[in-house]
Amino acid sequence: MRSASRRQVLGFRVRAQQLDRDVGTLADTAVLDLGAQDTGPDGGLWALAVRGVDVAALDDDALSTAWTIRGAPHLYRRSDLPAVAAATAPFSDADAGKRIYDAAKPLKAAGIPNLAALDTIAAAMRSIVTAPMVKGELSTRLTLVMDPPYVRPCVPCNAVHLWEMPFRLAALRAGLELQAGTSPPVLQPVPGLVPAEEVPDRFDVVRAFLRLLGPATPKHVAGYLDAPLKDVQARWPDDAVEVEVEGEHRWLLSDDADRLDEAPHGTRLLGPFDLYLQARDRPLLVSDPAHAKDLWRPLGRPGAVLVDGEIAGTWRARKTGSAVTVSVQAWDAMSPALRTAIGQQAERLAAFRQLTLKAVEIGD
């Protein structure tokens, strides 16, 4: 069994996720195989931009946004949607039950299998959404046609409507995507979308996780997907090889076993939900509990300053008129060269947001 240091693991992920490159295209951007989470103003498109994609030059129809992993919106290449729809679907009825959380309880009491419930919701969605429709309107119309096990009273909304996770996980099943940049979300049909009968290895979510966030354990993958551990273990790749990381047995795809190396030099401002931060071995990424608590807040999560594979602090952007100020909270003293590099990345962020950079504030 080969072994890998923490620095080699981080270096592998930087390279696998292409955070070391300056220029890329949608076709060769690896994170799109698993999906780029599109949460907040610096979501999926910023994740592509920091990997060298000229997002301003993309065709309007090149990308699709769909609720997939953990019910979160993710960006994908539109041409990949059939494979994505199949790859991100629950592995089993038990998996579907875990992914929809408490919504599984009334379904079980009513004798309705979880996958059958998602199909029922998807069929209703498909019949209702024939043109772009705001989520609230779809929810209202769904509630009128769904039986009691599918709905619940919602105190914040002072209304009765579908449970949130089945609603989200049934949408792509119904052939629906999200209109880019809409808030509240607008759902619309994807003409002719049919899930692929077989999932190509490239889009298999277990393999993609190992390829982009390895070395990892089945528990790490299950945590990322919100899937039962046994379902992940049942789909564990035959070509995965063991790697020891700080005394723990982990796995990589055999083709990647010789790619463990320390991270290249480079600075990036990662969005709060960038894939690099989505690994389920957070103590390996950030060892200080106070720093980890600040970075992975349940609400109001900041972005991360990535320096040579290490998280060196957090950042936030504050818009004022047509300008933006980037505030950095450094975890250690920053050299003049690093401050300059952060300033360059802040300029890049401002250009991405089509704003002028007003200032970069760095606090230690």
pLDDT in tens, 127-141: 999 999 999 999 999
Q: How confident is the model at residue 160 (pLDDT cuts 50, 70, 90)?
A: confident
Choosing from 175, 205, 234, the residue where a domain stops is 175
Supply the pLDDT for residue 159.
Answer: 74
Confirm whether 181 is domain-assigned: no
Helix (H) or strand (E) holding 328: strand 323-330
Mean pLDDT of 206-213: 98
Supply the pLDDT for residue 153.
Answer: 84
Is the confidence at residue 154, as pLDDT, over 80?
no
Q: How is residue 352 annotated by DSSP?
A: H
Choosing from 156, 175, 194, the residue where a domain stops is 175
- Tens of pLDDT, residues 247-294: 999 999 999 999 999 989 999 999 999 999 999 999 999 999 999 999
Supply the pLDDT for residue 194.
Answer: 95
Q: How confident is the model at residue 161 (pLDDT cuts 50, 70, 90)?
A: confident
- Tens of pLDDT, residues 177-206: 999 989 999 999 999 999 999 999 999 999
Range of the domain at 271: 267-363
Confirm whether 169 is domain-assigned: yes
Helix (H) or strand (E) holding 12: helix 6-16
**Cα(13)–Cα(277) distance, rounded to whole angstroms?**
10
Confirm whether 151 is domain-assigned: yes
How many domains are there within the chain? 2
Q: Residue 203 half-sphere exposure, CB side, CA atoms within 13 Å?
A: 23
- Tens of pLDDT, residues 101-128: 999 999 999 999 999 999 999 999 999 9
The residue written with tokens 């880019």 in the block is 180
